[in-house]
Each structure stands twice: as C-alpha cells, then as structure tokens.
Amino acid sequence: MRIFLASYQALMLNRGGPTYKLIALRENLRKIGVEAEFFNMWDFDLKLEKTDLVHIFNTNIGTYSLAANLKLYGAKFVVNPIFFSNHSPEIIKLYRLMEAPFRKIFKRTFSDYDITKFACDNAEKVLPNTKAEGNLLIKGLGIEKNKVQVIYNGVEKRFLEADASLFQKKYGLKDFVLYVGHLGPVRKNGKNIIRALQKLDVPSVIIADILHNEEGQWCRNEIEKSKNIRLIEWLRHDDPLFASAYAACHTFILPTRYETPGRAALEAALAGANVVITPFGGTTEYFRNFAEYVNPHSVESIGKGIEKALNKKKDEELKNHIKNNFLWENIAVQTAEMYQEILRFK
C-alpha cells in the first residue's frame, strides 16, 4: 500500500493550515509503517497500482485537474474537501438548482460547488474535518452519505512541551495576546483583529505572513502605529521559538471569518493558552465549551471575548481535551485504518 498526499500547487508557498497538515500526517503515517509520500507531478515514471491510493486535500480549482485525471486512469483517491459556506445546505441546494440551466448552455463553466461535488462524487471516500462540514456536503451538494467519514484535524504533540522561557527571554514578553496566521486575505479578518487589539491596548503579538495586497498593507501600517502590538513577520513552524510563543502568551486569538478548524488555535491550546475563536467553520466541534466564541464581524464582540479570556486563569481543561482527542499520532492511526478498509475491498 502506497499513499500519495496531494493538494494544489501553491500549497508549500502558502504555508497555511493544509501545508502543515500534509507534513504532519505524512510523518505520523510513516511512524506507524505506512508508505506515505507527497504526490510528485514531475515523476514521469509514476505508475499507480491497485494497492495505491491518492489522498487529495482541498477540492478546489487547484486540484480539479488531478481528480479528473485520476478518474480517467482508474486510479483510486480519497478527498479531504476543506469545504465551508456561510450558506445553509438548503440555500446551496437551491443555488445549484438555479445554476443548472446555465451549465447546459455554458458547458465549460464550473462553480466552486461543481468542482467540489465532482471530486467528492468520484472519490472512494469523502473525509470532512467536522460533522458540520459533512452535513453541508451531504445535504447541500448531495454527496452520498455512506461515502462520508469524519476524520478530525490533528496537532503535533511537541506543542505540549513548549518552553515559554525561550520567547520571554528573546522578546521580554509574557502573558500577552497572540495572533498567528496570515494578514491580507479577507477571510483572516485582519482589520477587525487589529482594531480590537488597538482598542483594548493590552500587550499583543502578531506572528504573520503579510500579503502584498491592499488589506495586507493596511494591516502593516496600523500595526506600525500601534504601541501595544509587536509584529514578528515569520517564524519557521518547527522553530522552538514558535511553540514558545504559544506557551508564553495568556490568550490566543483567531476571530477570523471562519476556520476549519484553525491549526494555530489547536497548537496554542495544546501549549496551554486560553483561546478566543470564531464560531464558524466547525470550531465548536474541537474547542467545545473551553473557548470564547466571538462574532468576527464585530470589533466590540472580539474585544469583549479577549477581555473575558484575559480575566480567566489559564488552566489544563482545554489543553487536556486537545491532548486526549486530536494528537496527530492518533489521527494517523484512524486515517491508516480508513486507507486499509478501502484497499481491502477494492
């Protein structure tokens, strides 16, 4: 059994949640004896056998061609769609009914919904990150229920042993508010995050890749004007200082438009931080009642959520919940069992 992990071309350039998901999953699959590797589009001699399986992450325009060609060549694949919509399943279904006549006229026109549905319909298994995502796929896009199997995202165990003193010694900061992620994409809600931190005027740290677009420049300018916000533009994900930042902060914030479910929040929680996060995208299935949920469209709501988290002592409840349910070493075992089940019956 060989497993090929695949995604869109810019995955490693983006350095987002899916990037580190593939890296961590491959590492942990190998630890339990699974032959897992990244799909290499430049491997001219690649031949997919009956005992091989391709695992596609993100069912979007960037992976459509791969899914279509795997289907043409009879190769087996599974998909982790990473799918979210602000619309209800009923609205998605209605939208697809309304666009159906246009698809007949404009035959080479595809919506995001079409692309996701195509990949899911032709996959051996559909692997949403949450039950909420699975519900959207089944009721909104009409994906077969018996194909859908929820496999939750994981988090690396090393964050459990993060040493807060490394960050404290280098930057002279502790018990601050921390945001880790991109700034510039609208989904990341950088403007409201920065506005909320400016109003609170509490010591804050932002570790971010800032995009070279209008919103990214706005975020950079506002941070430079803010005396209470320290910007660290980028740290390697495997740098001990990165994990140390999570352990040194008091409260980690991720009040974005949505998260599925927010890799950085899982890492921060495992390192012992209090968490303030968006309720959208399936986050409640991971953080339960251990986090503060805020309205990402309201600066006031974000601010109140941060204040509430800061007024609570850090405890072990969320940390233990994440440790007991979402470590990659356990998620990898569940994933390997799913692979074996597919290849056993095909």
Task: Encode pLDDT of 23-39 as tens digits.
Answer: 999 999 999 999 999 99
For residue range 145-167, what is the model confidence (pLDDT) as tens digits?
999 999 999 999 999 999 999 99
Pair 220, 297 in one domain: yes
Pair 149, 181 in one domain: no
The lowest-confidence range among 18-22, 95-99, 327-331 is: 95-99
Residue 128 pLDDT greater than 90, yes or no: yes
Burial class (CB in 10 A: 0-12, 13-18, 19+), 99: middle
In CATH, what number is assigned to the domain containing residue 9?
3.40.50.2000
Residue 133 lies in domain:
2-154+327-344
15: pLDDT confidence band, cut at 50, 70 and 90?
A: confident
Q: Tell me the CB-side half-sphere exposure of residue 6, using CA atoms within 13 A.
A: 24
110: pLDDT confidence band, cut at 50, 70 and 90?
A: confident
Pair 332, 298 in one domain: no
Q: Find the length of the chain.
A: 346
Mean pLDDT taken over the chain: 95
The pLDDT of residue 275? 99
The pLDDT of residue 234? 85
Is-contact 118 67, C-beta < 8 A?
A: yes
Residue 346 pLDDT greater than 80, yes or no: no
Instruction: Return the closest-CA partner of residue 271 out of 187, 182, 194, 167.
Output: 167
Pair 211, 255 in one domain: yes
Pair 143, 206 in one domain: no
> d(Cα 14, Cα 269) in Å, to the nearest integer?
23
The pLDDT of residue 32? 98
In the structure encoding, which two tokens stand for residue 240, read together? Answer: 């001990």
Site of tokens 């509490």? 202
> What are the start-end ranges of the E strands in the chain?
2-6, 35-38, 52-57, 77-80, 177-183, 204-210, 229-232, 251-254, 274-277, 292-293
The pLDDT of residue 98? 83
Q: Give the dihedral of Cα atoms 301, 307, 308, 311; nearest 10 deg.
A: 180
Residue 109 pLDDT greater than 80, yes or no: no
Pair 145, 244 in one domain: no
Domains identified in the chain, total number:
2
What average pLDDT does the segment 104-114 reach? 79
211: pLDDT confidence band, cut at 50, 70 and 90?
A: very high
Residue 168 pLDDT greater than 90, yes or no: yes
Pair 130, 278 in one domain: no
**b/e per residue, 12-30, with b = 16+ CB within 10 A?**
eeeebbbbbbbbbbbebbe
Is omega for the bond preceding 261 within 30 degrees of 0, making it cis?
Answer: yes
Pair 221, 337 in one domain: no
Degrees to nearest 5, angle at CA 193 with 236 and 307:
105
| Sign of the dihedral defined by the CA atoms of residues 10, 12, 13, 15, in that order | positive
Pair 34, 128 in one domain: yes
For residue range 257-300, what is the model confidence (pLDDT) as tens digits?
999 999 999 999 999 999 999 999 999 999 999 999 999 999 99
111: pLDDT confidence band, cut at 50, 70 and 90?
A: confident
Radius of gyration over alpha carbons of the chain, in Å? 21
Pair 212, 124 in one domain: no
The pLDDT > 70 percentage for the chain reads 99
Pair 316, 198 in one domain: yes
Pair 205, 316 in one domain: yes
What average pLDDT does the segment 307-335 reach? 97
Residue 106 pLDDT greater than 80, yes or no: no
What average pLDDT does the segment 71-94 reach? 94
